[in-house]
């Protein structure tokens, strides 16, 4: 089954001409046909276009072989519905974009195409990436491939579910407060959120511009390195992308982590941490020690303030960013007698409940008389949170935590209680506020029902090489990632 392969496995078989890109793509399409009715990871996909891209890849391989100049040649990669792919629909899981079709490629998609990838499908997500369960999509909910009564996590729930269910070899997502790492953990795949500024956000629909970062979903750590090699780098079209050289991330995967120092934050032993999650993370820590890493207890004293800070900063930025969806230049429109009425009716009809909640909260914390009390104070606490991390990284090379306090919860369990939903992001949110990098890798399963558990590692700004090296060494000795959902 070619759809079950990792990128590196497929690349090797394509290079030896044992299989064709068309066969690999067809195998993913067959899997979608077989399982996507149950999990609904995809909002839509264009099978004919995907196969045409596969044929083009096969032609290139026939002409030139499959060399390193196109590291993703013939590899099917699916895309979260928040990234622009030329001539494909883009809805952000919302009604408000109507029949929007992207007039251009996002930089990451341009880079993936240049590397030879087959770009296909629109992956489901919480509307405008606001949510932790993929229950907030106007296109229906996505279900966890390990247990279809449960959520896949969010907001990139479609990306995580599609990779876990072998409907594609890799996927792109976006992470504003954990939207890559948390669903990767709950679905049992590898989710990488690079450092803020490492990957261009051009062509990513903005949610919270100072927190958003594009990242990858893959079946193992090696593939995460391969994908990051392709998408990382400065882009003059994103003024916040950082002009730092891109190293060869694959070269960092040496398996040797002797002497590296890993920090365990004492503040992360919170009340709501599930016993099985804790046991799996403890076992992973023991594994790191066996591999020669040194474990150091550290303190991130402002951890308890991260969620409150996040929900001010993120909603404030979102309320400004989402002002552009007003029914004038693109998307759906509800007519009104004057422009204000048109905006108001269009937005009232087009946005779902969670997006409305966050726009109202964000507008409120920025409104006259409250700016200093909420937004400015939150930005100052953000400094304290960032300083916690920078101080910790003077002592350690990376920080180890659970990705999520529990395994996947049931559909509907938290959807009526937004605050409880927000609190489930406790371990992932600080990373975005601090602008550092993070990754989630599988580290075990709960027993009954069997659900994946994720281990999070947080790294220094632009410390992706070290981060990937550490989790790769772990993965080689743990092999949780090789288990597949029954479906």
Partner 1 sequence: MAAPEIDIKYVAHLARLHLTSDEEKKLGAQLGGILGYIEKLNELDVTGVEPTAHAVPMVNVTRADEIQPSLPHDEALRNAPAKANGLFMVPKIVE
Catalytic site includes residue 460: no
Is residue 311 near partner 1 by the rule CB under 8 A? Answer: yes
Is residue 449 near partner 1 by the rule CB under 8 A? Answer: no
Pick 34 or 305: Cβ nearer partner 1: 305
Which 249-308 residues touch partner 1, going by CB under 8 A?
302, 304-305, 307-308
The answer for residues whose C-beta is within 8 angstroms of residue 483's C-beta and 6 or more apart is 188, 442, 445
Pick 32 or 211: Cβ nearer partner 1: 211
Figure out which of the listed residues 58, 105, 135, 326 binds partner 1, where binding follows CB under 8 A: 326
Q: Token pair for residue 205?
A: 């629909």
Q: How far is the CB of 142 from partner 1 (least distance, A)?
A: 24
Which 156-215 residues touch partner 1, going by CB under 8 A?
195-197, 210
Picking from 273, 181, 252, 174, the residue whose alpha carbon sits closest to that of residue 457 is 181
Figure out which of the listed residues 51, 332, 476, 487 binds partner 1, where binding follows CB under 8 A: 332
Is residue 127 near partner 1 by the rule CB under 8 A? Answer: no
Q: How far is the CB of 224 from partner 1 (least distance, A)?
A: 21
Is residue 412 near partner 1 by the rule CB under 8 A? Answer: no
Catalytic site includes residue 27: no
Which 65-124 residues touch partner 1, going by CB under 8 A?
98-101, 103-104
Residue span binding partner 1 (CB under 8 A) among the ranges 272-280, 357-365, 393-401, 463-471: 357-365
Figure out which of the listed residues 360, 371, 395, 483 binds partner 1, where binding follows CB under 8 A: 360
* 8, 27, 132, 155: the active-site residue: 155
Figure out which of the listed residues 34, 345, 450, 484 binds partner 1, where binding follows CB under 8 A: 345
Pick 210 or 287: Cβ nearer partner 1: 210
Figure out which of the listed residues 114, 251, 279, 376 binds partner 1, where binding follows CB under 8 A: 376
Q: Are 87 and 157 in contact (CB under 8 A)?
A: no
Figure out which of the listed residues 337, 447, 448, 486 binds partner 1, where binding follows CB under 8 A: 337
Figure out which of the listed residues 363, 413, 484, 487 binds partner 1, where binding follows CB under 8 A: 363
Quote the CA–CA distance of 319 and 362 in Å, as a whole number: 5
**What are the residue numbers of the active site?**
80, 155, 179
């Amino acid at each position: 089954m070619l759809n079950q392969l990792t990128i590196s496995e497929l690349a090797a078989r394509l290079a030896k001409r044992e299989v064709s890109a068309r066969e690999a793509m067809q195998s993913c399409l067959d899997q979608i046909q077989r399982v996507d009715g149950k999990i609904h990871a995809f909002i839509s996909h264009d099978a004919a276009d995907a196969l045409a891209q596969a044929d083009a890849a096969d032609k290139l391989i026939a002409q030139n072989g499959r060399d390193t100049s196109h590291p993703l040649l013939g590899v099917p990669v699916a895309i979260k519905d928040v990234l622009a792919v030329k001539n494909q629909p883009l809805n952000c899981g919302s009604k408000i974009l109507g029949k929007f079709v992207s007039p251009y490629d996002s930089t990451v998609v341009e880079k993936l195409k240049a590397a030879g990838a087959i770009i296909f499908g629109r992956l489901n997500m919480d509307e405008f990436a606001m949510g932790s369960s993929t229950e907030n999509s106007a296109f229906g909910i996505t279900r966890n491939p390990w247990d279809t009564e449960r959520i896949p996590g969010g907001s990139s729930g479609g990306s995580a579910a599609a990779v876990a269910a072998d409907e594609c070899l890799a996927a792109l997502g976006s992470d504003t407060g954990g939207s890559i790492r948390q669903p990767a953990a709950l679905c049992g795949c590898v989710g990488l959120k690079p450092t803020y500024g490492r990957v261009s956000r051009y062509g990513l629909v903005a949610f919270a511009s100072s927190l958003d970062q594009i990242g990858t979903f893959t079946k193992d750590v090696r593939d995460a390195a391969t994908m990051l090699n392709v998408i990382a780098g400065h882009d003059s079209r994103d003024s916040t992308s950082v002009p730092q050289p891109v190293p060869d991330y694959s070269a960092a995967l040496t398996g040797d982590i002797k002497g590296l120092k890993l920090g365990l934050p004492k503040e992360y032993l919170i009340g709501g941490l599930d016993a099985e999650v804790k046991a799996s993370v403890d076992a992973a820590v023991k594994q790191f020690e066996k591999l020669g890493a040194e474990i150091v207890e550290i303190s991130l004293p402002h951890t308890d303030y991260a969620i409150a800070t996040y929900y001010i900063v993120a909603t404030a930025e979102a309320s400004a960013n989402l002002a552009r969806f007003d029914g004038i230049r693109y998307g759906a429109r509800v007519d009104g007698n004057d422009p204000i009425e048109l905006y108001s009716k269009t937005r009232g009809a087009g946005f779902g409940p969670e997006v409305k909640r966050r726009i109202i909260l964000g507008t409120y914390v920025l409104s006259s008389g409250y700016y200093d009390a909420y937004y400015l104070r939150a930005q100052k606490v953000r400094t304290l949170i960032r300083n916690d991390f920078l101080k910790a990284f003077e002592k350690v090379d990376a920080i180890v935590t659970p990705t999520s306090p529990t395994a996947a919860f049931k559909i509907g369990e938290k959807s009526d209680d937004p605050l409880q939903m927000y609190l489930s992001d406790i371990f992932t949110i600080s990373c975005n506020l601090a602008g550092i990098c993070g990754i989630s890798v599988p580290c075990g399963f709960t027993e009954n029902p069997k659900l994946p558990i994720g281990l999070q590692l947080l790294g220094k700004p632009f410390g992706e090489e070290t981060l990937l090296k550490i989790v790769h060494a772990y993965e080689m000795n743990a092999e949780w990632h090789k288990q597949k959902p029954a479906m």
